[in-house]
Structure 1
Amino acid sequence: MQPAEQMIYNLAVGIQKWQQKKDVIPNELRKGHLQLIRLCSESGQPFPKNIIPELVTFLKRPLHEWRIDSICSRFDSDLYLIEDVGGLSDYFQEWLEMVGSIENEQQKTMKEILKYCRDHSLNEEYTKIRTFLTKNPIIDYMKLQSFKMDFARELANLVEACYEKMNIDNDIEICPYCGWTLERKKGELTCAKLCRQLSDFNNTKTLKCTGTVYYRLKKGIQRFVLLPGKAELELFHKLKKKYKNADVMLYPDIDKFDISVKKDHITFYLDMKDYAHPHLLADYFNSQDTKKYVDHMRSIVVIPNYRERLKPGYIKRFCARIQELGLHLPFEVMLERECIKKMDRMLMI
Structure 2
Amino acid sequence: MDSVDSDAQRLLGLIVRAAQLDARECAERHDLLRQASALLWWLEPGSPPRTIANLLSCLSLPLEQWLDSRLRQGYEGALQFADEPTMLCSAIALETNPRLGWERVQQIVKKVRDLCRTRPHGDDEYRLFRMFLIEHGVVDADSSLDFLIPLQVSFNSLYEPIPQHLIRSGYIYLCPGCGWPMEIHHRAVSCGAQWCEQTVGIFQWMGDELVSVRTSKLIHPVTAKNKYRLVPALWAFTLIPGLLEMRLRDGIARLGITAELWPDVDQADLSFTANDRTYSLDAKVWNSPRNLGLHLVDTPSTGAIYIIPDYQRQHVDSLSEQCSPKQIKSESQCLRWVKELCQR
Shared fold per TM-score greater than 0.5: yes
Match of 2:264?
253
1:38-82: per-residue Cα shift (whole Å, max 9, x none)? 23454353222224x543327847589667xxx94xx46765683
Q: Is the 8 A contact 1:59 1:80 kept in 2?
A: no
Match of 1:296?
none
Match of 2:206?
none
* 1:230 and 2:243 correspond: yes
> How big is the shift at 1:317?
2.8
- Map 1:121-270 to 2 at 5 A: 122-143=122-143, 145=144, 148-153=145-150, 155-157=152-154, 160-166=156-162, 170-194=170-194, 195-200=196-201, 201=203, 202-203=211-212, 204-209=218-223, 213-243=226-256, 246-263=257-274, 265-270=276-281
Which structure 1 residue ranges, 5 or more long, are not aligned?
A: 294-298
Determine helix, strand or coil for the equivalent of 2:228.
Answer: strand
Match of 2:330?
335
Mark the CA change 1:100 to 1:26 in structure 2 (over 3 Å): closer, same or farther.
Answer: farther
Q: Is the 8 A contact 1:7 1:32 kept in 2?
A: no
> How big is the shift at 1:269?
1.2
User: In structure 2, what is the Cα distance between the partners aligned to 1:66 and 1:305?
Assistant: 26
Identity %: 19
Match of 2:95?
97
User: In structure 1, what is the Cα distance between the partners aligned to 2:8 and 2:343?
Assistant: 51
1:167-195: per-residue Cα shift (whole Å, max 9, x none)? 77612212122111112334553321422
> How big is the shift at 1:288?
0.9
> How big is the shift at 1:339?
1.7
User: In structure 2, what is the Cα distance between the partners aligned to 1:46 and 1:152?
Assistant: 58
Which structure 2 residue ranges, 5 or more long, are not aligned?
A: 204-210, 213-217
Normalised TM-score (structure 1): 0.75
* 1:300 and 2:310 correspond: no
Match of 2:316?
315
Q: Give RMSD over aligned pairs.
A: 3.6
User: In structure 2, what is the Cα distance between the partners aligned to 1:153 and 1:140?
Assistant: 20
Match of 1:6?
10
1:225-252: per-residue Cα shift (whole Å, max 9, x none)? 2111111112212323432xx4421111
- Which residue type is aligned with residue 230 of structure 1? L
Mark the CA change 1:186 to 1:281 in structure 2 (over 3 Å): closer, same or farther.
Answer: closer
Aligned residue pairs total 316
Determine helix, strand or coil for the equivalent of 2:173.
Answer: strand
User: In structure 2, what is the Cα distance between the partners aligned to 1:171 and 1:91?
Assistant: 24
- Which residue type is aligned with residue 112 of structure 1? K
Q: Is the deviation greater in 108-117 or in 95-104?
A: 95-104
User: In structure 2, what is the Cα distance between the partners aligned to 1:222 and 1:251?
Assistant: 17
User: In structure 1, what is the Cα distance between the partners aligned to 2:307 and 2:298?
Assistant: 19
